[in-house]
Amino acid sequence: MKYEAITIKDIAKALGLSTSTVSRALRDSYEISSETKDRVLAYAKEMNYRPNPIALSLKEKRSSSIGVLVSEIANSFFSQAINGIESVAQEKGYNVIIAQSKEDFDREVSALHYLASRSVDGILISVSAGTSDFSTINDLYLRGMPLVSFDRVVDHLNMHKVKVDNYKGGYDATHHLIKNGYKKIACIASSAYLSISEERVAGYKDALIEKKMGVDENLIDYCLHSGLIYEEVEDIMNKLMMQKNKPDAILACSDKITTNIMRYCQDKKIKIPAKIGLLGFSNLDLTDLLTPSLSVVKQPAAEMGRIAAELLIKMIESKRPTTTFEEVILPTELFQRASSAKKAKP
């Protein structure tokens, strides 16, 4: 069943004019008499005429829509980011088309191809945790597709980047744990492919080194799927808790990892923070209401989305190809709560 709507041709036929006259009348061209304009406008309004955006897209070679590729929509960070993106897009007259990679490289590539085949004017991308090959993205860049990466940016590619200060986020979080008396701090990061993992871990390491605490590689681990699967976190936690140098605190570097650790500790009846301190990167709204209330590093998700969307639309609407790329770095925010409370002196 089709949704049939009135076209410029219908108006032309009804009023005995040519399509060009109608088109110009609707665009208020100076070469159309005011009487004709009035007739056309009145009829168009009466028939509720709306220009066909697809025909316009074909003509103008632009679709007025932007693609957003994230790993998982049902993730508080990304849904907040999309919220920001949508608000900017709506304001500037762009559609937002969303796609999710589910942290899978193949799905990411096919989603990119799908979006890229000229159905969007630009793409906002946060790469999947499973992605180590960026040739598809680079191909798009080389072919002139406006791209902006956010959160999980790709360091060595030429494009605008919007991210948080992951190094400082990791550093501050670790520093806070140290200050609160934790001695053996483990770090569970997302996929090692991601620069955000690298940076957060670097901040973690430097905080330890600065306090002369030494870095134990056995206390550092990575989740290929960013903790999306519980078992992934479970395995790492089992390994960590079995080893001789057992941690007394954990820095979790993504939302799902953080909450899955909480779930693990609840299952295994490991008391937080008595047995183990916990501090995680998270954008969930309710972390303050959790048991125990969760210390988190929060990212300004909606703002990242807004800034990324603005950069992208600026690129799309620019006459000349963009040659210099910005890297916008926003601050993270540390919320100190019960899950990383000061450790009782032994």
Alpha carbon distance 111, 101 (integer Å)? 7
Give yes or no for a contact between 166 and 254, defined as CB atoms under 8 angstroms apart.
Answer: no
- Fill in the amino acid letter for 230: Y
Indicate which of a copy of itself, DNA, none lies near residue 242 (CB less than 5 to 8 Å, by partner kind): none
Q: How far is the CB of 224 from a copy of itself (least distance, A)?
A: 21
- Fill in the amino acid letter for 292: P
Give, for 161, the enclosing helix (H) or strand (E).
strand 160-164
Residue 61 touches DNA, criterion: CB under 7 A: yes
- Pairing relation of β-strands 295-298 and 333-335? antiparallel
Give yes or no for a contact between 191 and 130, defined as CB atoms under 8 angstroms apart.
Answer: yes
Alpha carbon distance 86, 263 (integer Å)? 32
- Pick 133 or 210: Cβ nearer a copy of itself: 133
Residue owning tokens 């990466």 = 149
What is the pattern of x (binds a copy of itself, CB under 8 A) and - over residues 66-95? ------xxxxx--xx-xx--x---x----x
Residues that bind a copy of itself (rule: CB under 8 A) add up to a total of: 68
Residue 7 touches DNA, criterion: CB under 7 A: yes
Give yes or no for a contact between 82 and 68, defined as CB atoms under 8 angstroms apart.
Answer: yes
Which residues 260-299 are close enough to bind a copy of itself by CB under 8 A? 262-263, 266, 284-286, 288-293
Give yes or no for a contact between 84 and 305, defined as CB atoms under 8 angstroms apart.
Answer: yes
Alpha carbon distance 237, 252 (integer Å)? 11
Sign of CA dihedral 70, 72, 74, 75: negative
- Pick 5 or 209: Cβ nearer a copy of itself: 5
Residue 13 touches DNA, criterion: CB under 7 A: no
- Pick 26 or 329: Cβ nearer DNA: 26
Tokens representing residue 232 in the block? 């992934």
Binding part of the chain for DNA, among 15-23, 128-136, 170-178, 229-237 by CB under 7 A, reads 15-23
Alpha carbon distance 288, 296 (integer Å)? 9
- Pick 137 or 208: Cβ nearer a copy of itself: 137
- Pick 24 or 200: Cβ nearer DNA: 24
Pick one of 33, 119, 243, 245: the residue that binds DNA (CB under 7 A): 33
Burial call 51-88: b when 16+ CB within 10 Å, e when fewer? eeeeeebeeeebbbbbbbbbbbeebbbbbbbbebbbeb
- Pick 9 or 183: Cβ nearer DNA: 9
Binding site for DNA (CB under 7 A): 7-9, 16-21, 23-24, 26-27, 31-36, 50-52, 55-56, 58-59, 61
What residues make contact with a copy of itself under the rule CB under 8 A?
1-5, 50-55, 57-58, 61-63, 65, 72-76, 79-80, 82-83, 86, 90, 95-100, 111, 113-114, 116-119, 121, 140, 143-146, 259, 262-263, 266, 284-286, 288-293, 302, 315-316, 318-322
